[in-house]
Structure 1
Amino acid sequence: MTQQSQSDPEKDTYLEVWGDTVSSEHLLCSVLLGVGFATTVFLTAQWLLAESGIDPAMVGSYSLLIGLAACVTVAVVCARLFKPKRDLLETDTGANSRETAMDSMEAEIGPIGDPDEFPAAVLEEVKMLGLYDDFKQRHLHKNPQVMASPAEQVGK
């Protein structure tokens, strides 16, 4: 389970942007820096390129490219200036939480099935995440007839 603890909750107002929590003040500063710097760089590049004798048809393209580079630069600077406002603490909640998660998955999409029948790429990822044994145990628990040997199944 993941918990969030925010520093100075009374001081800042937090907003959710693209699934992340951000400070409204820092978001405003970042937007103003981005617009101000990138626009200035774009217009300056457009003027300098036009004055330098570059083909007029290419001036707009080159200045746009330089303006985009300025946007990326401002994004990096703002990311360094305005650090994340929360600490994520992950705690191990045990196998019971995995069972609950698998129950909700089955309720939403239907039975999970035998992990050995997953597509190769999915099976590889499940094994890499260490979930293969959990899926296999769940499949065997839900389908006890699978535990019988193949010879017993043929005789039935």
Structure 2
Amino acid sequence: MAQQQKNKESYVEVIGDTVYGKHLIATISLSISLSLIGFFIGKQIFPHIAPEQMVKSYSLLLGIAGSLIALLINTLLFKPKRILNETPNTSAELTAVYQKLQFDIEEEREAILNDPVTAQEMKEQGIYDMFMEEKREEH
């Protein structure tokens, strides 16, 4: 039953990420609430302890603090649900992607070979061999 309920959850795409709609509404509500609470508490407290011209500024800072607290709470309440499956790509797969995008992989390989800094960075990231595999096979 719980699995069926989980499958019925509706997703929403926001800024390139996919989230549960109810979690999005909850995070927005919590953030707005804590921000406004902080601001209005500041409007009540700061007239007694701060100069008159600074009350609005200090209240705004307290509202921003409320937003940061909401961020922390939202982070703890709603953990990422994304599962990343990483598989190493082969040079042939890379070549197919370049062909699909209509890029010249040989031009890319030449650019990598002519730039030792880029080549070194790619070696450190472990992707150099993926780009240069077919090049070595030709020689």
Sort the TM-score into its range (normalised by shorter chain).
0.7 to 0.9
Q: CA RMSD in A?
A: 2.7
Residue 67 (1) aligns with residue 73 (2)? no
- Structure 2 distance, partners of 1:129, 1:103, is 23
- Say how many residue pairs are matched: 133
- Alignment partner, residue 72 of structure 2: 76
**Structure 1 segment 17-96 matched on structure 2, within 5 A:** 17-52=14-49, 54-92=50-88, 94-96=90-92
Q: Go from structure 1 to structure 2 and tell me whether the alpha carbon gap of 1:58 and 1:40 turns closer, same or farther (over 3 Å shift).
A: same
SS for the counterpart of 1:87 is: coil
Amino acid at match of 1:117: N
Structure 2 gap segments, 5+ residues each: none
Higher relative contact order (CA 8 A, sep 6+): 1
Select the structure that is richer in helix: 2
Q: Go from structure 1 to structure 2 and tell me whether the alpha carbon gap of 1:129 and 1:102 turns closer, same or farther (over 3 Å shift).
A: farther
**Is contact 2:91–2:134 with CA below 8 Å preserved after alignment?**
no
- Structure 1 distance, partners of 2:91, 2:132, is 14
Q: Go from structure 1 to structure 2 and tell me whether the alpha carbon gap of 1:57 and 1:78 turns closer, same or farther (over 3 Å shift).
A: same
- Alignment partner, residue 7 of structure 2: 9
Larger radius of gyration: 1
**Structure 1 segment 137-156 matched on structure 2, within 5 A:** 137-139=133-135
Select the structure that is richer in strand: 1
Structure 1 gap segments, 5+ residues each: 1-6, 148-156
**Is contact 1:46–1:60 with CA below 8 Å preserved after alignment?**
yes
- Structure 2 distance, partners of 1:8, 1:86, is 14
Residue 116 (1) aligns with residue 134 (2)? no
Identity value in percent: 27
SS for the counterpart of 2:79 is: coil
**Is contact 1:23–1:85 with CA below 8 Å preserved after alignment?**
no
